[in-house]
Chain A
Amino acid sequence: MAEQNTPILSTDALTKRFGGLTAVDGVSIALNEGEIVALIGPNGAGKTTFYNMVSGRMTPTSGQVLFHGSDIAGKPPHEIARAGIGRSFQITNVFNELTVRENVQVALVSHRGKSLRLFAVLGMDRALRREADEILARLGLESMAELRTGTLSYGDKRLLELAIVLAIEPEIVMLDEPTAGLTPEETRAVIELIRNLRAERPYTFFITEHDMEVVFGLAERVLVMHRGQLLATGAPEEVRQNPEVRRAYLGDEEEDSAA
Protein backbone atom coordinates (compact mmCIF):
# COMPACT_ATOMS: atom_id res chain seq x y z
CA MET A 1 0.00 0.00 0.00
CA ALA A 2 1.04 3.56 -0.66
CA GLU A 3 0.39 4.29 3.01
CA GLN A 4 3.66 2.58 3.90
CA ASN A 5 5.88 5.10 2.06
CA THR A 6 7.06 8.22 3.87
CA PRO A 7 4.36 10.78 3.24
CA ILE A 8 5.27 13.99 1.38
CA LEU A 9 2.93 15.96 3.61
CA SER A 10 1.41 15.07 6.92
CA THR A 11 -0.36 16.86 9.72
CA ASP A 12 -0.41 15.87 13.34
CA ALA A 13 -3.39 16.86 15.49
CA LEU A 14 -3.73 20.12 13.56
CA THR A 15 -6.15 22.42 15.35
CA LYS A 16 -7.51 25.92 14.78
CA ARG A 17 -9.82 27.72 17.17
CA PHE A 18 -11.61 30.98 16.44
CA GLY A 19 -12.73 32.19 19.86
CA GLY A 20 -15.06 29.49 21.06
CA LEU A 21 -15.35 27.74 17.69
CA THR A 22 -12.97 24.91 16.89
CA ALA A 23 -12.92 25.09 13.10
CA VAL A 24 -10.32 22.34 12.73
CA ASP A 25 -10.11 19.86 15.56
CA GLY A 26 -7.04 17.64 15.86
CA VAL A 27 -6.84 16.58 12.22
CA SER A 28 -4.04 14.17 11.30
CA ILE A 29 -3.61 13.24 7.65
CA ALA A 30 -0.86 12.01 5.36
CA LEU A 31 -0.42 12.56 1.60
CA ASN A 32 1.79 10.30 -0.46
CA GLU A 33 3.78 11.54 -3.38
CA GLY A 34 1.87 11.52 -6.64
CA GLU A 35 -1.54 10.85 -5.12
CA ILE A 36 -4.75 12.63 -5.95
CA VAL A 37 -6.46 13.15 -2.63
CA ALA A 38 -9.77 14.88 -2.14
CA LEU A 39 -10.77 16.55 1.10
CA ILE A 40 -14.51 16.62 1.17
CA GLY A 41 -17.05 17.85 3.66
CA PRO A 42 -20.09 20.10 3.73
CA ASN A 43 -19.73 23.88 3.83
CA GLY A 44 -18.31 24.97 7.17
CA ALA A 45 -16.58 21.64 7.81
CA GLY A 46 -13.21 23.38 8.14
CA LYS A 47 -11.60 22.52 4.78
CA THR A 48 -10.49 26.02 3.92
CA THR A 49 -9.21 26.61 7.44
CA PHE A 50 -7.22 23.40 7.17
CA TYR A 51 -5.76 24.59 3.85
CA ASN A 52 -4.97 27.97 5.36
CA MET A 53 -2.88 26.36 8.06
CA VAL A 54 -1.01 24.09 5.66
CA SER A 55 -0.26 26.94 3.24
CA GLY A 56 0.80 29.47 5.87
CA ARG A 57 -2.17 31.80 5.65
CA MET A 58 -3.08 31.00 9.24
CA THR A 59 -0.99 29.88 12.20
CA PRO A 60 -2.35 26.72 13.82
CA THR A 61 -3.57 26.91 17.39
CA SER A 62 -1.76 23.64 17.93
CA GLY A 63 -0.43 20.69 15.99
CA GLN A 64 2.18 20.16 13.32
CA VAL A 65 2.44 20.32 9.54
CA LEU A 66 5.27 18.18 8.22
CA PHE A 67 6.48 18.68 4.65
CA HIS A 68 9.18 16.17 3.72
CA GLY A 69 9.46 15.54 7.42
CA SER A 70 10.14 19.10 8.64
CA ASP A 71 7.62 21.23 10.49
CA ILE A 72 6.35 24.15 8.42
CA ALA A 73 3.46 25.16 10.70
CA GLY A 74 3.40 28.91 11.20
CA LYS A 75 5.86 29.68 8.40
CA PRO A 76 4.95 32.60 6.14
CA PRO A 77 3.16 31.82 2.83
CA HIS A 78 6.08 32.79 0.61
CA GLU A 79 8.39 30.29 2.31
CA ILE A 80 5.85 27.50 2.01
CA ALA A 81 5.28 28.36 -1.64
CA ARG A 82 9.03 28.37 -2.26
CA ALA A 83 9.32 25.02 -0.54
CA GLY A 84 6.97 23.48 -3.10
CA ILE A 85 3.38 23.82 -1.95
CA GLY A 86 1.18 25.80 -4.29
CA ARG A 87 -2.44 26.63 -3.60
CA SER A 88 -5.47 28.15 -5.24
CA PHE A 89 -8.32 29.92 -3.53
CA GLN A 90 -11.98 29.13 -3.16
CA ILE A 91 -12.80 32.77 -3.82
CA THR A 92 -11.18 33.65 -7.14
CA ASN A 93 -7.90 35.38 -6.45
CA VAL A 94 -6.35 36.64 -9.68
CA PHE A 95 -4.94 40.01 -10.76
CA ASN A 96 -7.77 41.69 -12.62
CA GLU A 97 -5.74 44.75 -13.61
CA LEU A 98 -2.99 42.69 -15.27
CA THR A 99 -3.20 40.81 -18.54
CA VAL A 100 -3.79 37.08 -18.45
CA ARG A 101 -0.19 36.40 -19.45
CA GLU A 102 1.11 38.78 -16.78
CA ASN A 103 -0.88 36.90 -14.15
CA VAL A 104 1.10 33.77 -14.94
CA GLN A 105 4.32 35.76 -15.28
CA VAL A 106 4.01 37.06 -11.72
CA ALA A 107 4.36 33.49 -10.53
CA LEU A 108 7.05 32.67 -13.11
CA VAL A 109 9.15 35.72 -12.24
CA SER A 110 9.04 34.62 -8.62
CA HIS A 111 9.71 30.97 -9.35
CA ARG A 112 12.59 31.62 -11.77
CA GLY A 113 14.30 33.98 -9.33
CA LYS A 114 13.84 36.97 -11.63
CA SER A 115 11.92 39.15 -9.19
CA LEU A 116 14.90 41.41 -8.46
CA ARG A 117 15.64 42.17 -12.11
CA LEU A 118 15.17 45.93 -12.05
CA PHE A 119 16.59 46.87 -15.40
CA ALA A 120 15.52 43.99 -17.60
CA VAL A 121 12.49 44.60 -19.81
CA LEU A 122 9.75 42.12 -19.00
CA GLY A 123 8.33 42.28 -22.51
CA MET A 124 11.69 41.28 -23.98
CA ASP A 125 12.20 38.21 -21.81
CA ARG A 126 11.39 35.52 -24.37
CA ALA A 127 11.76 32.65 -21.91
CA LEU A 128 9.22 34.21 -19.55
CA ARG A 129 6.83 34.74 -22.40
CA ARG A 130 7.18 31.28 -23.87
CA GLU A 131 6.81 29.60 -20.51
CA ALA A 132 3.76 31.62 -19.61
CA ASP A 133 2.14 30.85 -22.95
CA GLU A 134 2.88 27.15 -22.55
CA ILE A 135 1.10 27.08 -19.22
CA LEU A 136 -1.83 29.05 -20.64
CA ALA A 137 -2.01 26.58 -23.51
CA ARG A 138 -2.20 23.65 -21.12
CA LEU A 139 -5.33 25.24 -19.68
CA GLY A 140 -6.75 26.34 -23.01
CA LEU A 141 -6.32 30.04 -22.23
CA GLU A 142 -3.68 30.82 -24.84
CA SER A 143 -5.98 32.92 -27.00
CA MET A 144 -6.65 35.24 -24.06
CA ALA A 145 -3.03 35.97 -23.15
CA GLU A 146 -3.20 39.67 -24.01
CA LEU A 147 -6.58 40.40 -22.48
CA ARG A 148 -7.02 42.29 -19.27
CA THR A 149 -7.96 39.64 -16.75
CA GLY A 150 -10.91 41.64 -15.43
CA THR A 151 -12.68 41.03 -18.75
CA LEU A 152 -12.54 37.21 -18.46
CA SER A 153 -15.53 35.04 -17.66
CA TYR A 154 -15.77 33.52 -14.22
CA GLY A 155 -14.92 30.06 -15.51
CA ASP A 156 -11.81 31.30 -17.30
CA LYS A 157 -10.70 33.12 -14.16
CA ARG A 158 -10.96 29.83 -12.26
CA LEU A 159 -8.68 28.25 -14.86
CA LEU A 160 -6.25 31.16 -14.62
CA GLU A 161 -6.18 30.63 -10.88
CA LEU A 162 -4.96 27.12 -11.62
CA ALA A 163 -2.40 28.42 -14.15
CA ILE A 164 -0.85 30.69 -11.51
CA VAL A 165 -0.45 27.72 -9.16
CA LEU A 166 1.12 25.51 -11.85
CA ALA A 167 3.60 28.26 -12.78
CA ILE A 168 5.51 27.81 -9.54
CA GLU A 169 5.88 24.09 -10.33
CA PRO A 170 4.75 22.93 -6.92
CA GLU A 171 5.21 19.39 -5.69
CA ILE A 172 1.85 19.61 -4.01
CA VAL A 173 -0.98 21.37 -5.81
CA MET A 174 -3.65 22.35 -3.30
CA LEU A 175 -6.89 23.43 -4.92
CA ASP A 176 -9.60 24.85 -2.71
CA GLU A 177 -12.91 24.00 -4.40
CA PRO A 178 -11.57 24.52 -7.94
CA THR A 179 -15.06 24.01 -9.34
CA ALA A 180 -16.85 26.41 -6.96
CA GLY A 181 -19.50 28.32 -8.85
CA LEU A 182 -18.97 26.52 -12.16
CA THR A 183 -21.71 24.99 -14.31
CA PRO A 184 -21.85 21.16 -14.47
CA GLU A 185 -20.13 21.17 -17.88
CA GLU A 186 -17.39 23.51 -16.71
CA THR A 187 -16.98 21.33 -13.63
CA ARG A 188 -16.54 18.22 -15.74
CA ALA A 189 -14.00 20.06 -17.91
CA VAL A 190 -11.96 21.10 -14.88
CA ILE A 191 -11.95 17.56 -13.47
CA GLU A 192 -10.84 16.24 -16.85
CA LEU A 193 -8.13 18.89 -16.98
CA ILE A 194 -6.78 17.92 -13.57
CA ARG A 195 -6.67 14.32 -14.67
CA ASN A 196 -4.67 15.30 -17.75
CA LEU A 197 -2.28 17.49 -15.79
CA ARG A 198 -1.62 14.63 -13.43
CA ALA A 199 -0.93 12.34 -16.36
CA GLU A 200 1.64 14.83 -17.69
CA ARG A 201 3.57 15.40 -14.48
CA PRO A 202 3.86 13.68 -11.10
CA TYR A 203 2.04 16.33 -9.08
CA THR A 204 0.51 15.45 -5.76
CA PHE A 205 -3.00 16.87 -5.97
CA PHE A 206 -4.89 17.83 -2.86
CA ILE A 207 -8.35 19.05 -3.71
CA THR A 208 -11.26 20.18 -1.55
CA GLU A 209 -14.84 19.87 -2.63
CA HIS A 210 -18.14 20.18 -0.83
CA ASP A 211 -20.01 18.06 -3.36
CA MET A 212 -18.57 14.56 -2.98
CA GLU A 213 -19.86 13.32 -6.35
CA VAL A 214 -17.64 15.78 -8.20
CA VAL A 215 -14.37 14.22 -7.08
CA PHE A 216 -15.37 10.56 -6.85
CA GLY A 217 -14.19 9.78 -10.33
CA LEU A 218 -10.94 11.68 -9.86
CA ALA A 219 -9.63 11.09 -6.37
CA GLU A 220 -7.59 8.04 -5.50
CA ARG A 221 -8.25 8.63 -1.85
CA VAL A 222 -10.87 10.66 -0.06
CA LEU A 223 -10.71 12.35 3.33
CA VAL A 224 -13.98 13.37 4.89
CA MET A 225 -14.21 16.28 7.28
CA HIS A 226 -17.22 17.12 9.36
CA ARG A 227 -17.49 19.86 11.97
CA GLY A 228 -13.75 20.27 12.14
CA GLN A 229 -12.95 16.61 12.57
CA LEU A 230 -11.67 13.94 10.24
CA LEU A 231 -14.53 11.50 9.95
CA ALA A 232 -13.24 8.92 7.52
CA THR A 233 -10.54 8.25 5.01
CA GLY A 234 -10.26 5.65 2.28
CA ALA A 235 -10.89 4.82 -1.33
CA PRO A 236 -13.90 6.66 -2.84
CA GLU A 237 -16.13 3.56 -2.80
CA GLU A 238 -15.24 2.72 0.79
CA VAL A 239 -16.03 6.23 1.90
CA ARG A 240 -19.28 6.24 0.00
CA GLN A 241 -20.35 3.06 1.79
CA ASN A 242 -19.22 4.26 5.21
CA PRO A 243 -22.41 4.60 7.29
CA GLU A 244 -20.97 7.32 9.47
CA VAL A 245 -20.16 9.41 6.41
CA ARG A 246 -23.59 8.79 4.99
CA ARG A 247 -25.20 9.85 8.22
CA ALA A 248 -23.12 12.94 8.86
CA TYR A 249 -22.24 14.16 5.42
CA LEU A 250 -25.03 12.98 3.18
CA GLY A 251 -27.49 13.59 5.99
CA ASP A 252 -26.54 17.24 5.97
CA GLU A 253 -27.09 17.38 2.24
CA GLU A 254 -30.48 15.76 2.49
CA GLU A 255 -31.46 18.25 5.15
CA ASP A 256 -30.24 20.97 2.81
CA SER A 257 -32.21 19.73 -0.15
CA ALA A 258 -35.27 19.02 1.98
CA ALA A 259 -35.20 22.58 3.31
Chain B
Amino acid sequence: MSRRAGLITALIAVILVALWFLPAWAPYFYIFVAAEILILGLFAAGFNLVFGYTGMLSLGHAAFFGFGAYVTAMLLLHFDTPLAFALIASLAGGGLLALVIGFFCVRLTEVYFTMLTLAFGMMVFSVAQQWRSFTGGSDGITGFAVGSFGLGLDLTLGNPAVYYQLTLVIVTLAGLCLYLITISPFGLILRAMAENPERVAFTGIPVRRYRLYSFVISGAFSGLAGGLFAPFTRVASPETLHWSQSAEPVLMSILGGSATFLGPFIGSAIFVLLETWITSFTDRWMLFLGIVLALMVMYLRRGLLGTALDRLTKRG
Protein backbone atom coordinates (compact mmCIF):
# COMPACT_ATOMS: atom_id res chain seq x y z
CA MET B 1 0.00 0.00 0.00
CA SER B 2 2.65 2.54 1.01
CA ARG B 3 4.91 1.23 -1.77
CA ARG B 4 2.11 2.04 -4.15
CA ALA B 5 1.81 5.53 -2.66
CA GLY B 6 5.55 6.02 -3.14
CA LEU B 7 5.30 4.85 -6.73
CA ILE B 8 2.46 7.23 -7.47
CA THR B 9 4.32 10.14 -5.84
CA ALA B 10 7.41 9.38 -7.91
CA LEU B 11 5.30 9.16 -11.08
CA ILE B 12 3.66 12.51 -10.36
CA ALA B 13 7.05 14.09 -9.70
CA VAL B 14 8.36 12.80 -13.04
CA ILE B 15 5.29 14.13 -14.85
CA LEU B 16 5.61 17.52 -13.16
CA VAL B 17 9.30 17.80 -14.08
CA ALA B 18 8.51 16.79 -17.67
CA LEU B 19 5.74 19.39 -17.78
CA TRP B 20 8.08 22.05 -16.42
CA PHE B 21 10.51 21.46 -19.26
CA LEU B 22 7.81 21.18 -21.90
CA PRO B 23 8.55 24.64 -23.39
CA ALA B 24 12.16 23.56 -23.94
CA TRP B 25 11.27 20.95 -26.53
CA ALA B 26 7.57 20.98 -27.44
CA PRO B 27 6.09 23.29 -30.07
CA TYR B 28 4.18 26.32 -28.77
CA PHE B 29 0.90 24.69 -29.63
CA TYR B 30 1.43 22.01 -26.99
CA ILE B 31 2.20 24.59 -24.35
CA PHE B 32 -1.30 25.94 -24.88
CA VAL B 33 -2.79 22.47 -24.78
CA ALA B 34 -0.93 21.65 -21.56
CA ALA B 35 -1.93 24.94 -19.91
CA GLU B 36 -5.57 24.28 -20.77
CA ILE B 37 -5.34 20.76 -19.33
CA LEU B 38 -3.88 22.10 -16.11
CA ILE B 39 -6.38 24.93 -15.66
CA LEU B 40 -9.44 22.85 -16.51
CA GLY B 41 -7.99 20.03 -14.41
CA LEU B 42 -7.88 22.33 -11.40
CA PHE B 43 -11.44 23.43 -12.14
CA ALA B 44 -12.56 19.80 -12.33
CA ALA B 45 -10.65 18.80 -9.18
CA GLY B 46 -12.24 21.71 -7.32
CA PHE B 47 -15.65 20.69 -8.63
CA ASN B 48 -15.00 17.09 -7.64
CA LEU B 49 -14.67 18.01 -3.97
CA VAL B 50 -18.43 18.54 -4.09
CA PHE B 51 -19.19 15.80 -6.62
CA GLY B 52 -16.87 12.87 -5.86
CA TYR B 53 -16.10 13.57 -2.22
CA THR B 54 -19.33 15.04 -0.88
CA GLY B 55 -21.70 13.24 -3.23
CA MET B 56 -23.53 16.23 -4.67
CA LEU B 57 -23.82 16.82 -8.42
CA SER B 58 -23.54 20.53 -9.15
CA LEU B 59 -24.40 21.77 -12.62
CA GLY B 60 -23.64 25.36 -11.75
CA HIS B 61 -19.90 25.41 -11.24
CA ALA B 62 -19.27 27.49 -14.36
CA ALA B 63 -20.63 30.39 -12.30
CA PHE B 64 -17.59 30.20 -10.02
CA PHE B 65 -15.12 29.48 -12.80
CA GLY B 66 -16.49 32.30 -14.97
CA PHE B 67 -16.75 34.67 -12.02
CA GLY B 68 -13.09 34.04 -11.25
CA ALA B 69 -12.24 34.80 -14.89
CA TYR B 70 -14.16 38.09 -14.78
CA VAL B 71 -12.64 39.13 -11.46
CA THR B 72 -9.07 38.72 -12.71
CA ALA B 73 -9.84 40.24 -16.13
CA MET B 74 -11.49 43.29 -14.56
CA LEU B 75 -8.78 43.83 -11.97
CA LEU B 76 -6.14 43.66 -14.69
CA LEU B 77 -8.10 45.95 -17.01
CA HIS B 78 -9.14 48.65 -14.55
CA PHE B 79 -6.49 48.58 -11.85
CA ASP B 80 -3.41 46.92 -13.36
CA THR B 81 -3.49 44.67 -10.31
CA PRO B 82 -0.47 42.39 -9.99
CA LEU B 83 -1.58 38.92 -11.13
CA ALA B 84 -0.94 37.27 -7.76
CA PHE B 85 -3.48 39.55 -6.10
CA ALA B 86 -5.96 39.23 -8.95
CA LEU B 87 -5.78 35.45 -8.56
CA ILE B 88 -6.30 35.68 -4.82
CA ALA B 89 -9.33 37.86 -5.54
CA SER B 90 -10.64 35.23 -7.97
CA LEU B 91 -10.19 32.55 -5.32
CA ALA B 92 -12.01 34.65 -2.74
CA GLY B 93 -14.65 35.74 -5.25
CA GLY B 94 -15.39 32.17 -6.30
CA GLY B 95 -15.72 31.19 -2.65
CA LEU B 96 -17.95 34.14 -1.85
CA LEU B 97 -20.27 33.53 -4.78
CA ALA B 98 -20.40 29.86 -3.77
CA LEU B 99 -21.34 30.91 -0.26
CA VAL B 100 -24.30 32.93 -1.55
CA ILE B 101 -25.49 30.33 -4.08
CA GLY B 102 -24.67 27.41 -1.82
CA PHE B 103 -26.63 28.93 1.07
CA PHE B 104 -29.79 28.16 -0.90
CA CYS B 105 -28.67 25.03 -2.75
CA VAL B 106 -27.51 22.94 0.22
CA ARG B 107 -31.03 23.09 1.62
CA LEU B 108 -31.96 20.67 -1.12
CA THR B 109 -30.56 17.25 -1.91
CA GLU B 110 -30.09 15.01 -4.91
CA VAL B 111 -31.78 16.07 -8.12
CA TYR B 112 -33.32 19.17 -6.53
CA PHE B 113 -29.90 20.35 -5.44
CA THR B 114 -28.63 19.76 -8.98
CA MET B 115 -31.51 21.69 -10.56
CA LEU B 116 -31.02 24.64 -8.23
CA THR B 117 -27.29 24.87 -9.00
CA LEU B 118 -28.19 24.80 -12.69
CA ALA B 119 -30.75 27.57 -12.17
CA PHE B 120 -28.29 29.79 -10.28
CA GLY B 121 -25.66 29.14 -12.94
CA MET B 122 -28.07 30.32 -15.62
CA MET B 123 -28.89 33.45 -13.62
CA VAL B 124 -25.22 34.37 -13.27
CA PHE B 125 -24.75 33.77 -16.98
CA SER B 126 -27.59 36.06 -17.96
CA VAL B 127 -26.46 38.80 -15.60
CA ALA B 128 -23.05 38.75 -17.30
CA GLN B 129 -24.68 38.75 -20.70
CA GLN B 130 -27.17 41.58 -20.00
CA TRP B 131 -25.16 43.95 -17.85
CA ARG B 132 -23.25 45.30 -20.81
CA SER B 133 -21.81 48.46 -19.25
CA PHE B 134 -20.07 46.44 -16.55
CA THR B 135 -19.34 43.06 -18.08
CA GLY B 136 -19.03 43.87 -21.76
CA GLY B 137 -22.10 41.76 -22.59
CA SER B 138 -21.56 38.89 -24.97
CA ASP B 139 -18.09 40.22 -25.93
CA GLY B 140 -16.91 39.83 -22.38
CA ILE B 141 -13.84 41.60 -21.02
CA THR B 142 -10.92 41.96 -23.40
CA GLY B 143 -7.96 44.21 -23.93
CA PHE B 144 -6.40 43.70 -20.53
CA ALA B 145 -2.70 43.12 -20.21
CA VAL B 146 -0.92 40.97 -17.69
CA GLY B 147 1.71 43.16 -16.09
CA SER B 148 3.64 42.11 -13.05
CA PHE B 149 3.01 39.06 -10.95
CA GLY B 150 3.67 40.76 -7.61
CA LEU B 151 5.16 39.22 -4.49
CA GLY B 152 8.55 40.52 -5.66
CA LEU B 153 8.76 38.03 -8.53
CA ASP B 154 9.99 39.38 -11.83
CA LEU B 155 8.23 37.34 -14.50
CA THR B 156 7.62 38.17 -18.14
CA LEU B 157 4.07 36.93 -18.12
CA GLY B 158 3.49 38.07 -21.69
CA ASN B 159 5.63 35.11 -22.74
CA PRO B 160 3.29 32.11 -23.07
CA ALA B 161 6.03 29.74 -21.89
CA VAL B 162 6.44 31.71 -18.69
CA TYR B 163 2.72 31.98 -18.13
CA TYR B 164 2.45 28.25 -18.68
CA GLN B 165 5.15 27.50 -16.11
CA LEU B 166 3.48 29.83 -13.63
CA THR B 167 0.22 28.01 -14.26
CA LEU B 168 1.95 24.71 -13.61
CA VAL B 169 3.27 25.94 -10.26
CA ILE B 170 -0.03 27.45 -9.14
CA VAL B 171 -2.08 24.44 -10.21
CA THR B 172 0.36 22.13 -8.44
CA LEU B 173 0.20 24.14 -5.21
CA ALA B 174 -3.58 24.49 -5.37
CA GLY B 175 -3.90 20.78 -6.18
CA LEU B 176 -1.73 19.90 -3.20
CA CYS B 177 -3.88 22.09 -0.99
CA LEU B 178 -7.05 20.40 -2.25
CA TYR B 179 -5.46 17.00 -1.79
CA LEU B 180 -4.60 17.76 1.81
CA ILE B 181 -8.22 18.70 2.39
CA THR B 182 -9.39 15.36 0.99
CA ILE B 183 -7.16 13.37 3.34
CA SER B 184 -7.95 15.48 6.41
CA PRO B 185 -10.45 14.69 9.16
CA PHE B 186 -12.74 17.18 7.42
CA GLY B 187 -12.30 15.19 4.20
CA LEU B 188 -13.34 12.02 6.01
CA ILE B 189 -16.55 13.72 7.10
CA LEU B 190 -17.21 14.72 3.49
CA ARG B 191 -16.67 11.18 2.21
CA ALA B 192 -18.92 9.82 4.90
CA MET B 193 -21.60 12.36 4.01
CA ALA B 194 -21.41 11.30 0.37
CA GLU B 195 -22.44 7.81 1.33
CA ASN B 196 -24.78 8.37 4.24
CA PRO B 197 -25.47 11.92 5.38
CA GLU B 198 -28.03 10.87 7.94
CA ARG B 199 -25.62 8.61 9.81
CA VAL B 200 -23.13 11.46 9.90
CA ALA B 201 -25.74 13.76 11.42
CA PHE B 202 -26.29 11.23 14.20
CA THR B 203 -22.62 11.49 15.14
CA GLY B 204 -23.12 15.19 15.82
CA ILE B 205 -22.26 16.86 12.50
CA PRO B 206 -24.57 19.57 11.10
CA VAL B 207 -24.61 18.03 7.64
CA ARG B 208 -26.11 20.96 5.77
CA ARG B 209 -23.45 23.33 7.05
CA TYR B 210 -20.68 20.92 6.07
CA ARG B 211 -22.17 20.63 2.61
CA LEU B 212 -21.93 24.40 2.40
CA TYR B 213 -18.29 24.36 3.54
CA SER B 214 -17.49 21.86 0.83
CA PHE B 215 -19.37 23.93 -1.75
CA VAL B 216 -17.51 27.12 -0.79
CA ILE B 217 -14.06 25.51 -0.92
CA SER B 218 -14.98 23.95 -4.24
CA GLY B 219 -16.21 27.30 -5.57
CA ALA B 220 -13.00 29.02 -4.43
CA PHE B 221 -10.76 26.60 -6.33
CA SER B 222 -13.03 26.87 -9.37
CA GLY B 223 -12.70 30.66 -9.13
CA LEU B 224 -8.92 30.38 -8.99
CA ALA B 225 -8.97 28.20 -12.10
CA GLY B 226 -11.13 30.83 -13.83
CA GLY B 227 -8.65 33.52 -12.76
CA LEU B 228 -5.85 31.58 -14.44
CA PHE B 229 -7.98 30.99 -17.52
CA ALA B 230 -8.70 34.65 -18.40
CA PRO B 231 -5.10 35.80 -19.02
CA PHE B 232 -4.50 32.51 -20.84
CA THR B 233 -7.30 33.08 -23.36
CA ARG B 234 -6.97 36.89 -23.09
CA VAL B 235 -10.70 37.20 -22.55
CA ALA B 236 -13.31 36.70 -19.85
CA SER B 237 -16.34 35.76 -21.88
CA PRO B 238 -19.87 34.77 -20.87
CA GLU B 239 -19.10 31.37 -22.39
CA THR B 240 -17.04 30.59 -19.29
CA LEU B 241 -20.28 31.04 -17.33
CA HIS B 242 -22.49 29.02 -19.66
CA TRP B 243 -24.12 25.84 -18.42
CA SER B 244 -22.21 23.84 -21.02
CA GLN B 245 -19.05 24.98 -19.21
CA SER B 246 -20.57 23.48 -16.04
CA ALA B 247 -20.84 20.15 -17.82
CA GLU B 248 -17.11 19.99 -18.53
CA PRO B 249 -15.89 19.25 -14.97
CA VAL B 250 -18.66 16.66 -14.66
CA LEU B 251 -17.47 14.87 -17.80
CA MET B 252 -13.82 15.19 -16.80
CA SER B 253 -14.41 13.79 -13.33
CA ILE B 254 -16.32 10.84 -14.72
CA LEU B 255 -13.79 10.20 -17.51
CA GLY B 256 -10.87 10.19 -15.09
CA GLY B 257 -12.64 8.73 -12.07
CA SER B 258 -14.48 10.83 -9.52
CA ALA B 259 -13.54 8.51 -6.65
CA THR B 260 -9.85 9.36 -7.05
CA PHE B 261 -8.15 12.66 -6.39
CA LEU B 262 -6.22 12.79 -9.66
CA GLY B 263 -9.12 11.48 -11.74
CA PRO B 264 -10.37 14.95 -12.73
CA PHE B 265 -6.87 15.93 -13.91
CA ILE B 266 -6.62 12.76 -16.00
CA GLY B 267 -10.13 13.44 -17.27
CA SER B 268 -9.12 16.96 -18.23
CA ALA B 269 -6.16 15.57 -20.17
CA ILE B 270 -8.35 13.04 -21.99
CA PHE B 271 -10.96 15.69 -22.74
CA VAL B 272 -8.61 18.37 -24.02
CA LEU B 273 -6.38 15.98 -25.98
CA LEU B 274 -9.34 14.27 -27.59
CA GLU B 275 -10.87 17.62 -28.44
CA THR B 276 -7.61 18.89 -29.92
CA TRP B 277 -6.98 15.73 -31.86
CA ILE B 278 -10.50 15.13 -33.15
CA THR B 279 -11.20 18.75 -34.14
CA SER B 280 -8.06 18.60 -36.26
CA PHE B 281 -9.84 16.34 -38.73
CA THR B 282 -13.56 16.72 -38.10
CA ASP B 283 -16.03 19.28 -36.77
CA ARG B 284 -18.06 16.56 -35.12
CA TRP B 285 -16.08 16.59 -31.92
CA MET B 286 -19.19 16.33 -29.78
CA LEU B 287 -20.22 13.12 -31.53
CA PHE B 288 -16.89 11.51 -30.72
CA LEU B 289 -16.92 12.81 -27.19
CA GLY B 290 -20.39 11.32 -26.83
CA ILE B 291 -19.17 7.94 -28.05
CA VAL B 292 -16.15 7.95 -25.73
CA LEU B 293 -18.31 8.95 -22.81
CA ALA B 294 -20.92 6.29 -23.56
CA LEU B 295 -18.22 3.61 -23.75
CA MET B 296 -16.63 4.78 -20.51
CA VAL B 297 -19.90 4.80 -18.63
CA MET B 298 -20.75 1.34 -19.94
CA TYR B 299 -17.38 -0.34 -19.53
CA LEU B 300 -15.19 1.78 -17.25
CA ARG B 301 -17.72 3.16 -14.86
CA ARG B 302 -15.14 4.20 -12.28
CA GLY B 303 -13.22 6.23 -14.83
CA LEU B 304 -9.79 5.62 -16.29
CA LEU B 305 -7.74 6.15 -13.13
CA GLY B 306 -10.40 4.66 -10.86
CA THR B 307 -10.53 1.46 -12.92
CA ALA B 308 -6.75 1.23 -13.14
CA LEU B 309 -6.37 1.57 -9.37
CA ASP B 310 -9.11 -1.01 -8.81
CA ARG B 311 -7.22 -3.48 -10.99
CA LEU B 312 -3.96 -2.80 -9.18
CA THR B 313 -5.57 -3.26 -5.78
CA LYS B 314 -7.13 -6.54 -6.81
CA ARG B 315 -3.80 -7.88 -8.03
CA GLY B 316 -1.54 -6.44 -5.35
Total cross-chain contacts (CB, 8 A): 102
Partner of B201, one of A78, A115, A122: A78
State whether the Cβ of A219 lies closer than 8 Å to any Cβ in chain B: no
A76 to B205, CA, bound (A): 10
Closest residue of chain A to B259, judged by CB?
A97
Segment from A15-23, A88-96, A177-185 that makes contact with B: A88-96
Q: Which of B170-224 contact A (CB under 8 A)?
A: 177, 180-181, 183-189, 191-192, 194-196, 198-207, 210, 213, 217
Known: A76-B201, A106-B200. A121 touches B183 (CB 8 A): yes
A74 to B213, CA, bound (A): 25
A107 to B188, CA, bound (A): 10
Q: Let me know if B205 and A119 touch, CB within 8 A.
A: no
A115 to B199, CA, bound (A): 15
Known: A95-B192, A98-B191, A106-B192. A118 touches B180 (CB 8 A): yes
Taking the closest CB of chain A, its distance from the CB of B182, in whole angstroms, is 10
State whether the Cβ of A49 lies closer than 8 Å to any Cβ in chain B: no
Taking the closest CB of chain A, its distance from the CB of B260, in whole angstroms, is 13
Q: Let me know if A120 and B195 touch, CB within 8 A.
A: no
Chain A residues, Cβ within 8 Å of B213: 116
Number of A residues near B (Cβ < 8 Å) is 38
State whether the Cβ of A114 lies closer than 8 Å to any Cβ in chain B: yes
Q: Let me know if B203 and A117 touch, CB within 8 A.
A: no
Q: Let me know if B191 and A97 touch, CB within 8 A.
A: yes
Q: Let me know if A78 and B205 touch, CB within 8 A.
A: yes
Known: A109-B185, A115-B189. A96 touches B195 (CB 8 A): yes
Q: Which of A89, A106, A107 has the most CB of B within 10 A?
A: A106
A76 to B195, CA, bound (A): 20
Partner of A81, one of B186, B187, B204: B204
Partner of B186, one of A111, A115, A123: A115
State whether the Cβ of A24 lies closer than 8 Å to any Cβ in chain B: no
Chain A residues, Cβ within 8 Å of B180: 118-119, 121
Q: Let me know if B210 and A115 touch, CB within 8 A.
A: yes
A168 to B203, CA, bound (A): 7
Q: Let me know if A110 and B205 touch, CB within 8 A.
A: yes
Chain B residues, Cβ within 8 Å of A102: 188, 191-192
Chain A residues, Cβ within 8 Å of B206: 76, 78
A118 to B176, CA, bound (A): 12
State whether the Cβ of A11 lies closer than 8 Å to any Cβ in chain B: no
Q: Which of B187, B201, B203, B206 has the most CB of A within 10 A?
A: B203
Chain A residues, Cβ within 8 Å of B192: 95, 98, 102, 106
Q: Let me know if B184 and A164 touch, CB within 8 A.
A: no
Q: Let me know if A110 and B195 touch, CB within 8 A.
A: no
State whether the Cβ of A86 lies closer than 8 Å to any Cβ in chain B: yes
Closest residue of chain A to B199, judged by CB?
A93
State whether the Cβ of A256 lies closer than 8 Å to any Cβ in chain B: no
A107 to B210, CA, bound (A): 15
Q: Which of A57-112 contact B (CB under 8 A)?
A: 57, 76-78, 81-82, 86-87, 89, 93-98, 102, 105-107, 109-111
Taking the closest CB of chain B, its distance from the CB of A186, in whole angstroms, is 22
Q: Let me know if B184 and A168 touch, CB within 8 A.
A: no
Interface residues of A (CB under 8 A from B): 55, 57, 76-78, 81-82, 86-87, 89, 93-98, 102, 105-107, 109-111, 114-123, 125, 128, 164, 167-168
Interface residues of B (CB under 8 A from A): 177, 180-181, 183-189, 191-192, 194-196, 198-207, 210, 213, 217
Question: Can you sample 8 A-B contacts with CB below 8 Å?
Answer: A78-B202, A78-B207, A96-B195, A98-B192, A105-B185, A106-B189, A117-B185, A121-B180
